[in-house]
């Protein structure tokens, strides 16, 4: 009875010591989190292994991540992978469909991106941008002649259309003269002229009357305007003025126009033509209805492909700028040790328990062997 009691006690004590030793060893990986002092003397094995070596662990993890896990080569392969590119295309197309389905206007979309966005500010910036660009162009070319500035094909096209311009001018003059307003102007002018011609002028005016005078003069003027000689003369006049204009530089043309604020006026005209307010308040789907399908089918895939290709070429530089090693190191150093402990123990709970049970088993076996040895020696 004493023999069995001794062996059982030795086994239980050995198992308890083995299990508690392994359990304590596991806990000492993390505990205590901070060094423990008795006076000025620090207790051995405090803090725990991981808290004590956290800086070294952070440095090693940073090295592992940058050297083996997240490398420029692996990221380059990922971004040029066709499957990844297709995923990006699908994601962007879904966003486009969402914008169209929700009938978002341009201004609503911009306000989602930037809550402080204001339309009048955009109009002012566009106006300023156009004016600035026009002023820069003027400063750049003000000492060059119009002939040097205009592209050769544009100048040729203008010269080819000069006969049409002369016809247009004469047609417009004729149309005005045949209108009621034109007839009235002719009548008034003729009447004023005859009044300055003394008795003869008054006699003619009294005989024909104002309306009759206009009826007599208008056909003659119309005949003059439709004559080939007049057309040829007007065309030559316009051509001479064009040749003179071509030889002038922009500064001279501006002085002749007598308008120092021409850039601002041109900017206002362009801004009115753009009609930013109308565009901003229309649904994007309606504005782009003719282009949505082509954008999703062609533009987006090509854009994604080119952007990711450029990104892959710049990946080493980006990773260097990102300094992933230092980023991982700082994150690990700032990580709460208790959180690391919970994370590790949650993942390895079964294995840690098995280590504790194994320690108890080995301690029990050692206790059994010791008990047998003690009995044999006794």
Same-domain check for residues 243 and 291: no
Residues 155, 84 within the same domain = no
For residue 365, tell me if it sits in a domain: no
In this structure, is residue 184 part of a structural domain?
yes
Q: How far apart are CA 14 and CA 18, in angstroms?
A: 6
CA–CA dist 56, 69 (Å, integer): 18
Q: Is residue 298 in a domain?
A: yes
Q: Are residues 159 and 239 in the same domain?
A: yes
Same-domain status, 100 and 160: no
Q: Are residues 241 and 170 in the same domain?
A: yes
Q: What is the pLDDT of residues 67-122, one digit of tens each?
A: 887 888 888 888 888 999 999 999 999 988 888 888 888 888 777 777 777 777 77
48, part of any domain: no
Whether 325 is covered by a domain: the verdict is no
CA 90 to chain centre: 19
What is the tens place of the pLDDT at every residue in 192-239?
655 555 544 454 455 455 555 566 677 777 787 788 888 888 888 888
Other beta carbons within 10 Å of 115: 7
Domain stops at, among 226, 248, 270: 248
User: In which domain, by residue range, is 303 found?
Assistant: 78-104+284-318
User: What is the pLDDT, as a whole number, of residue 201?
Assistant: 47
Q: How many domains does the chain have?
A: 2
Tell me, what's the pLDDT at 190?
61
What is the C-alpha separation between 125 and 370, in angstroms, rounded? Answer: 91
Residue 43 lies in a domain: no
Domain boundary among 202, 228, 248: 248
- Indicate the pTM of the whole model: 0.51
Q: Of 318, 339, 366, which one is at a domain's C-terminal end?
A: 318
Nearest to 37 by CA among 46, 48, 29: 46
- Tell whether 274 is covered by a domain: no
Residue 257 lies in a domain: no
Using one digit for the tens of pLDDT, what is the confidence trace for 343-378?
A: 777 878 888 889 888 988 998 898 888 888 878 876
**What would the two tokens of residue 63 be?**
């090295």
Same domain, 240 and 295: no
CB 205 within 8 A of CB 213: yes
**pLDDT tens, position by position, 37-73:** 887 888 777 778 778 887 887 788 888 888 887 888 8
- For 329-350, the pLDDT digits (tens) are 888 777 777 777 787 778 788 8
């Amino acid at each position: 009875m004493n023999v069995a009691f001794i062996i059982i006690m030795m086994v239980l004590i050995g198992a308890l010591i083995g299990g508690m030793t392994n359990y304590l060893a596991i806990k000492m990986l993390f505990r205590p989190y901070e060094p423990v002092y008795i006076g000025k003397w620090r207790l051995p094995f405090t803090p725990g292994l991981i808290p004590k070596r956290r800086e070294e662990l952070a440095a090693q993890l940073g090295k592992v991540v940058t050297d083996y896990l997240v490398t420029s080569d692996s990221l380059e392969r990922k971004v040029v992978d066709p499957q990844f590119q297709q995923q990006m295309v699908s994601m962007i197309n879904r966003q486009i469909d969402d914008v169209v389905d929700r009938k978002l206007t341009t201004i609503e979309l911009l306000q989602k991106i930037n809550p402080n966005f204001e339309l009048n500010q955009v109009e002012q910036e566009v106006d300023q941008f156009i004016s600035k660009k026009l002023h820069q162009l003027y400063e750049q070319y003000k000492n060059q002649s119009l002939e040097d500035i205009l592209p050769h094909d544009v100048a040729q096209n203008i010269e080819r259309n000069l006969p049409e311009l002369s016809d247009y001018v004469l047609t417009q003059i004729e149309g005005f003269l045949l209108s009621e307003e034109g007839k009235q102007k002719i009548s008034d002018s003729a009447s004023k002229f005859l009044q300055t011609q003394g008795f003869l002028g008054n006699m003619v005016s009294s005989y024909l009357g104002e309306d009759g005078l206009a009826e007599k003069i208008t056909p003659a003027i119309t005949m003059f305007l439709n004559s080939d000689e007049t057309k040829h003369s007007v065309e030559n006049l316009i051509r001479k003025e064009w040749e003179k204009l071509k030889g002038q530089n922009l500064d001279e043309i501006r002085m002749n126009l007598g308008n120092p604020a021409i850039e601002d006026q041109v900017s206002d005209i362009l801004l009115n033509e753009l009609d930013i307010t109308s565009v901003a308040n229309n649904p994007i789907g309606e504005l782009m209805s003719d282009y949505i399908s082509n954008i999703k089918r062609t533009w987006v895939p090509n854009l994604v492909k080119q952007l990711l290709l450029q990104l892959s070429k710049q990946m080493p530089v980006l990773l260097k700028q990102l300094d992933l090693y230092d980023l991982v190191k700082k994150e690990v150093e700032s990580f709460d040790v208790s959180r690391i402990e919970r994370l590790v123990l949650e993942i390895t709970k079964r294995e840690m328990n098995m280590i504790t049970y194994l320690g108890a088993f080995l301690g029990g076996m050692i206790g059994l062997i010791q008990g047998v040895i003690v009995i044999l020696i006794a």
